[in-house]
Amino acid sequence: MGRHGYRQAVTTPRELIGRPAIISAYLTPVLFIGGTIVAGLVTPGYDPVRQTISELAAGDAPARVFTTVIFVATGLSHLVTIAYARGIGIPGRIVYLVGALASLAVAAFPLPSVAGTSAAHNTAAIIGFVLLAAWPILGMRFRPDFPWLVRPLGSILGTVILTAICLWFLVVWTAHSVPYVGVVERVAADAESIWPAVVVTALALRARQLNSKE
C-alpha cells in the first residue's frame, strides 16, 4: 500500500481514548472497592463474607448515605469512561452506558431494610451485572491497529471471564443458603469495576505509541 496507505490505516490517538476516560477508569475501582470497604468497616456488625454490598445502602443501614453516594459516583465515573473511550466499538459503548445507568438505578432503588428485598433494586442489579459483563465482546474491533484487548481475542476473553464470575455470583445469590454470598458478589462487582481500567490502559498505551510516531 505504500507509506501513505499505512498511515491511513493506523488509528489516531484521539480515535482511541480521551484523557477523561483514563482518569475515570482508574478512579472507578478506587471509588467502588475503597468506598464499600470503608462503608463495611463503619457499619457495626456488618459481615462482608455473608452480607451483600446492597445491604450497606439499605434504608435502615448506618452507612446508607455514604454507600449511596459511592454507588452514584461509581455510575457517573462509568459514564465518563464510556464517553471518552472511543476505541471501544459503538455497540459495546451503548451496552456499557446502559449498564452504568443500571448502576445508578441500584442507588435510586435501595433495599427497604437490611433484611428486606426490592424487585426494582434486584432487577437493576441483575441488568447491571449482565451488561457490564457483556460490553467487551460487543465493543470488539477488528482492525489490526487496535490493541489486542479490544480485538476478538481480548474482547471474547474479557466477556468470558466477567460472565463466568457473574454467573457464579447469581448461582450463589439465588441459593440463599450459601454463607459466602458477600465474597462472591465482591469478586464479581470488583472485577467489573476493574476491567474498564484494563481496557483503557491498553488504549492509552496504543495512543502513546501513535503519539511517539508523529
pLDDT digits (tens, 9 = 90+) for 105-143: 999 999 998 888 899 999 999 999 999 999 999 999 998
The letter for the amino acid at 126 is I
Tens of pLDDT, residues 47-99:
999 999 999 999 899 999 999 999 999 999 999 999 999 999 999 999 999 99
- Local structure of 59: helix, strand or coil: coil
Q: Which positions ≥6 away from 90 have C-beta within 8 Å?
A: 139
Give strand ranges (E) for 87-171. Answer: none
pLDDT in tens, 142-161: 988 899 999 999 999 999 99
> Do residues 105 and 124 lie in contact, with contact meaning Cβ atoms separated by under 8 Å?
yes
Q: Which residues have C-beta within 8 Å of that of residue 50, sequence separation ≥ 6?
A: 179, 180, 181, 182
Q: pTM here?
A: 0.89
